[in-house]
Amino acid sequence: MATMQQVAERAGVSIATVSFVVNGSKKVLPHTRERVEAAMRELGYSRNHAGSALARGRTDIIALLYPAFERNLSGTAMTFFTSAADRARERGYTLVLWPAHNEAAEITELTASGLVDGVLLMEVQLEDGRVDRLKEGRTPFALIGRTQDPEGMAWVDVDFASSVETAIEELVALGHTSILYISGATEKRFVAHGGVARARESYLQTMAQSGLTATTLTCGENSAAGRLLAAELVEHHPDATAIILMNEHAAPGLAIGLAQHGVRVPDDLSIISIGTSAHMASMAEPVLTHMDSPAAELGRLGVDAIIERINEPDRPLPQTLIPCTPGEGASVARAPRR
Amino acid sequence: MATMQQVAERAGVSIATVSFVVNGSKKVLPHTRERVEAAMRELGYSRNHAGSALARGRTDIIALLYPAFERNLSGTAMTFFTSAADRARERGYTLVLWPAHNEAAEITELTASGLVDGVLLMEVQLEDGRVDRLKEGRTPFALIGRTQDPEGMAWVDVDFASSVETAIEELVALGHTSILYISGATEKRFVAHGGVARARESYLQTMAQSGLTATTLTCGENSAAGRLLAAELVEHHPDATAIILMNEHAAPGLAIGLAQHGVRVPDDLSIISIGTSAHMASMAEPVLTHMDSPAAELGRLGVDAIIERINEPDRPLPQTLIPCTPGEGASVARAPRR
DNA sequence: TTGTAGGCGTTATCAT
DNA sequence: ATGATAACGCCTACAA
């Protein structure tokens, strides 16, 4: 509650001097600096954010826009938040999570009010209205994920494509030829979600290159849907020997359903879960072999990207692809003999 | 980027008039109001947050402080965030998620800088340094959860105690007499976590009142720990016929482990999971009978509480207990005959 | 090295 | 009904 003015008076210096010591913006004699610091301590001074922001024209705040409509974000969301927040702090920024309903107005309000210096957008869709809005404004932004055509923007994304490719190659090497692809499907979201779309593309392409027949299925993002899917698999896809799973929330239920139908994982059917955490993977029986989502790195690099946009808008755009890392599990085996 | 001054010039009025129409703070002739609104539209005016905050002495921002150290927040955290954010928006506030590492300095920095009008603190511990810090400052705050002695503070909490009591009564009515209590245990957190502690108290008390022997166990908050726990139960607690589970993340693993040891749920062993979501409950086989966490209501009421503190500090302190609601499941049955 | 003073964009009081 | 203008707290040329 104390102002610089009060600190200045108490220390017997001018308000400018106080500013200098608070911000280290100019040299001050050790003697007077001490006096100022003492006064600050005594008065419990703390710099007022609004005043400072107004004068400097920046707030040192970054907004991490997350989609409030999502029922369940990936299990790694928290890891991502935390690593992003830590990184921001390290670099002198404060990161705040900004829930947005995907409304244009919310983004305009956020950026035009000058409340934040930059925006980090997560859960980016192939066509994303939020990105369009962001492009219209002047606030620097960076994407976690990519739109269909992400040229001209800063982004950091998980390399789902290569993960899927790797997974398929692994399965093929184990003799699998009938490999299904299963992704989530909630309110059309997954049709447009960049990562899922690219994973699917990669699946189709890799299968084609391997001369294998591709089959893609969708399944709600919950265990109940996973259980139902198991029945569908048994009935309609009895020949499948492996699954590329892009739907971690359905995984436990799927495994349960399969077991109930007498399908043994991995003896009868192998499963590789893409972009999951070990935590989620272990909720299923058997523990899922998976490709771990690089959530922490994503958060760190995302923050670095937006800060670079803020401070050095003329540098080349940061555009980084991060691979998943292989995770332990017991859901993959050699293809069964037929 | 346009300022009020520019809008005023363009509309041929004074800056004060613009302020009146922007805030609706005074009557303005329809004629001039239109002129002003047109000018605003043409210039794409948007009120500058820092300027406004400085002049008004308030920011209309509420910080939701969440513990960044947590490995996994409850599965209902997102629901809670979202409902809180929605409620805040409804009432003209912006809610921002503020990750904090439980450091005093972070809280001081946040509150003393005047960046937010109020703070909502979640994951409150029985002894919580953050609360002490908050008490020292002048920023209004409210708790989601309660400290040991929460008198004199505003709080909204889940009534775990009554949930546990209800659960035990249900089990007793089904003939159970050997009922275990299992909670999480991560880095001492659960020793101090208000909800868990009160749930445990309630368990001990209710068991005593029923003349039953109480046994409490802890288990890491993940499926692997749950699997290990199953082995421990089989070995050391073969007589138990029911479990009160306060550890949703371990649940799927526990169920899996039990099945592998030949323990049938619910025929041999009943499980009631307290404070879970249906989503998490369905990840286990069988789907867990549970007491649903009132996450959405908690978010809404928490925001209402802090806003009341901000605007009417003289009103009696909001202190609200919200019960869990019974959730469907298949993990409870009559006690087995011995 | 330190002080003076104008300005950042809004709000709100007090005139007109 | 509208306009002038003094805050709000801080930053930063520019002066001294």
Would you say the C-beta of B112 is within 7 Å of strand D? no
Domain with A194, as residue range(s), is: 160-293
Q: What is the pLDDT of residue A188?
A: 57
Q: Are residues A15 and A125 in the same domain?
A: no
Per the structure, the count of domains in chain A is 3
Of B residues 41-100, those with CB within 7 angstroms of nucleic strand D are 51, 54-55, 57
Q: What is the pLDDT of residue B296?
A: 95
| Closest nucleotide over all strands to A11 (CA to C1') | C2
Report yes or no on A120 lying in a domain: yes
Q: What is the mean pLDDT of chain A?
A: 94
Q: Are residues B123 and B147 in the same domain?
A: yes
Residue in chain B lying closest to A138 (CA): B1
CATH no. for residue A233? 3.40.50.2300
Report yes or no on B337 lying in a domain: no
- The answer, yes or no, to whether residue B109 has pLDDT greater than 90, is no
- The answer, yes or no, to whether residue B76 has pLDDT greater than 90, is no
Nearest to B215 by CA among B225, B229, B200: B200
Task: Tell me which residue has tokens 């760190």.
Answer: A300
Q: Are residues A145 and A183 in the same domain?
A: no
Q: What is the pLDDT of residue A67?
A: 83
Q: Are residues A191 and A311 in the same domain?
A: no
Report yes or no on A122 lying in a domain: yes
Domain end residue (candidates: A14, A39, A56): A56
CA of A57 to C1' of D16 (A): 29
Query: How large is the average pLDDT for residues A77-99?
Result: 92
CB pairs A-B closer than 8 Å: 115
Is pLDDT larger for residue A55 or for residue A66? A55
What's at B99, amino acid-wise? Answer: P
- Give the pLDDT band (50/70/90) at residue B190: low
Q: What is the pLDDT of residue A1?
A: 83
Give the DSSP H or E segment for B242: strand B242-246
- The answer, yes or no, to whether residue B191 has pLDDT greater than 90, is no
Q: What is the pLDDT of residue B101?
A: 81
Q: Tell me which protein residue sits closest to nucleotide C2, measuring alpha carbon to C1'.
A: A17
Q: Are residues B16 and B84 in the same domain?
A: no
Domain end residue (candidates: B30, B56, B82): B56
Report yes or no on B334 lying in a domain: no
Domain end residue (candidates: B25, B41, B56): B56
Report yes or no on B333 lying in a domain: no
Q: What is the pLDDT of residue A72?
A: 66
Q: Are residues A222 and A258 in the same domain?
A: yes
Q: Are residues B78 and B124 in the same domain?
A: yes
Q: Are residues B287 and B180 in the same domain?
A: yes
CATH no. for residue A8? 1.10.260.40
Q: What is the pLDDT of residue B71?
A: 60
For the stretch A233-278, pLDDT in tens is 999 999 999 999 999 999 999 999 999 999 999 999 999 999 999 9
What's at A89, amino acid-wise? Answer: R
For the stretch A148-164, pLDDT in tens is 999 999 999 999 999 99
CA of B287 to C1' of D9 (A): 58
Query: How large is the average pLDDT for residues B137-141?
Result: 96
Alpha-carbon distances, residue A156 vs A132, A143, A320 (angstroms): 18, 6, 5
Q: Are residues A285 and A265 in the same domain?
A: yes
Give the DSSP H or E segment for A198: helix A194-209
Q: What percent of chain B has pLDDT over 90?
A: 86
Contact A115/B284, CB-based, under 8 Å? no
Q: What percent of chain B has pLDDT over 70?
A: 96
Report yes or no on B331 lying in a domain: no
Contact A109/B46, CB-based, under 8 Å? yes
- The answer, yes or no, to whether residue B69 has pLDDT greater than 70, is no
Query: How large is the average pLDDT for residues B117-130?
Result: 94
Residue A220 near residue A188 (C-beta atoms within 8 A):
no
Q: Are residues A20 and A75 in the same domain?
A: no
For the stretch A279-310, pLDDT in tens is 999 999 999 999 999 999 999 999 999 999 99
Residue in chain B lying closest to A83 (CA): B68
Q: What is the pLDDT of residue A103?
A: 80
Report yes or no on A332 lying in a domain: no
Other Cβ atoms within 10 Å of A29 Cβ, number: 9
Distance from CA of A96 to the nearest CA of B (A): 6
The residues near A149 (Cβ < 8 Å, ≥ 6 apart) are none
- Give the pLDDT band (50/70/90) at residue B3: very high
Report yes or no on A168 lying in a domain: yes
Residue B332 near residue B271 (C-beta atoms within 8 A):
yes
DSSP state of A123: S
Q: Are residues B254 and B308 in the same domain?
A: no
Q: What is the pLDDT of residue A74?
A: 72
Q: Are residues A203 and A266 in the same domain?
A: yes
Q: What is the pLDDT of residue B67?
A: 83
Q: What is the pLDDT of residue B188?
A: 57
Task: Tell me which residue has tokens 């901000």.
Answer: B310
Contact B282/A44, CB-based, under 8 Å? no
